[in-house]
Chains A and B, each alone.
Chain A
Amino acid sequence: MLHIVNKSPFDKNSLESCLSCAQDGSAVLLYEDGVYGAIKGSAYAERLQSAMSNITVYALEPDVKARGIADKVIDGIKLVDYNGFVELTAEKEAVNSWL
């Protein structure tokens, strides 16, 4: 399954709920304000990094660049463009959108 999250983890609990429900082997894509969850050294980084041992985390690069955090993304998070987003949705059996 592909989980997609577009809310900042500092503002909403969407990412937290998502991570607590994500099966091992599933993927999480951070986009729009969700990309703030990808910042290295933040109060949320450790939580996400520990989840990354069982799930693959992606971040939408155009949203990362728009927010000025391109040089702060946690190592191991894969950046994708819009085509990559489409490919992920096509590749996974289902998409769960955490609004």
Chain B
Amino acid sequence: MSSVIKQFLYVNRKAPYGTVYALESLEVVLIGAAFEQDVRLLFMDDGVFQITKGQDTADIGMKNFSPTYGALGDYDVKYMYVCKQSLEERGLTVDDLLDLKWEDEDEDWAEKDSIILVDREEMKSLMTDADVVLSF
């Protein structure tokens, strides 16, 4: 396998279930992570709805894929940025989101929060700093 590691930023802007973008993005995130790349996610606009807690799809006949976000820490996905302004516009706070964690190998596998709230200025740098930006 190539030893070149690039930083991939996946920008998620769509709500889950109504369209297939969110699920497709998640599939590609898992592929990137399997190739041991530096994979980071940014949730903005309606994309913040992808990681709300308490999703129950039993009555709409679709798979609830939100638990998969909780497994990303095991794939070394450590940074999940969430646009603060998008949350506020939608009447949400960080407490309405899934409790996403990763384990820090360098600190005796201490659990750390994956979710980092960011403002628009920080989002500009995130996009500038990434080697590859994939937008869904």
Task: List, in ascending order, chain A residues with CB within 8 A of B46's CB.
Answer: 8, 10-11, 33, 36
Chain B, residues 30-71, CB within 8 Å of chain A (1/0): the string is 000000000000000110010011111111101010100000
Give min CB distance, A71 to chain B, whole Å.
8
Count contacts on A: residues with CB < 8 A to the other chain. 26
In the complex, the answer to whether A67 meets B59 with C-beta atoms within 8 Å is: no
Among listed B10-18, B99-107, B113-121, interface-contacting one: B10-18
Among listed A16-24, A37-45, A51-59, interface-contacting one: A37-45
In the complex, the answer to whether A33 meets B59 with C-beta atoms within 8 Å is: no
In the complex, the answer to whether A65 meets B90 with C-beta atoms within 8 Å is: no
Measured CB to CB, the nearest residue on chain A to B55 is A68
Per the 8 Å Cβ criterion, residues 62-85 of A in contact with B are 62-63, 65-72, 81
Task: List, in ascending order, chain A residues with CB within 8 A of B19's CB.
Answer: 33
Give how many A-B residue pairs fall within 8 Å (CB-CB).
Answer: 78
- B contact patch SS: loop
Chain B, residues 65-91, CB within 8 Å of chain A (1/0): the string is 010000000000000000000001111
Task: List, in ascending order, chain B residues with CB within 8 A of A10's CB.
Answer: 45-46, 89-90
CA distance A53 to B57 in the complex (A): 31
Given A6-B18, A62-B59, also A67-B91 (CB < 8 A) = no
In the complex, the answer to whether A67 meets B49 with C-beta atoms within 8 Å is: yes
Give min CB distance, A83 to chain B, whole Å.
12
Give min CB distance, A47 to chain B, whole Å.
12
Give min CB distance, A79 to chain B, whole Å.
12
Identify the B interface with A (CB < 8 A): 14-19, 45-46, 49, 52-60, 62, 64, 66, 88-92, 96
Identify the A interface with B (CB < 8 A): 6-8, 10-11, 32-33, 36, 39-43, 45, 61-63, 65-72, 81
Q: Which 5 A-B pairs have the closest CB atoms?
A: A62-B59, A33-B18, A42-B91, A41-B91, A68-B52
